[in-house]
Amino acid sequence: MKLRVMTLPVAARLLQCAAACAALMPAGCSRAPTWDIMGSLFPAWLVCIVLGILLTVLARWLLLRFGIALLYPVLVYPCLAAVFTFAIWLICF
């Protein structure tokens, strides 16, 4: 007994995809994440980047304090800044 696989025409698939995208679009209409700092509204991503860079500076100071040498510091520090920034974003939002 041979099983038949039912396939939809391309137009029907495009219509289903468009309907799914249209259903997900209103989810992006919520309020933008902002923080009120001294009366000014700052975007949350900007605050996360600043905190990520400050944590990277702290990590660099700790690495220098403990005498840990890095093979590629040009690669490590931007990656640390990105990791700290994304971690703060995930924790806060």
Shortest CA distance to 88 belongs to which of 52, 38, 39, 43?
52
* Residues 91 and 55: beta-carbon distance below 8 Å: no
In this prediction, residue 36 carries a pLDDT of: 81
In this prediction, residue 3 carries a pLDDT of: 62
Low-confidence ranges of the chain (pLDDT < 50): none
Residue 90 CA: distances (Å) to CA of 4, 54, 58, 84, 85 = 45, 17, 20, 10, 9
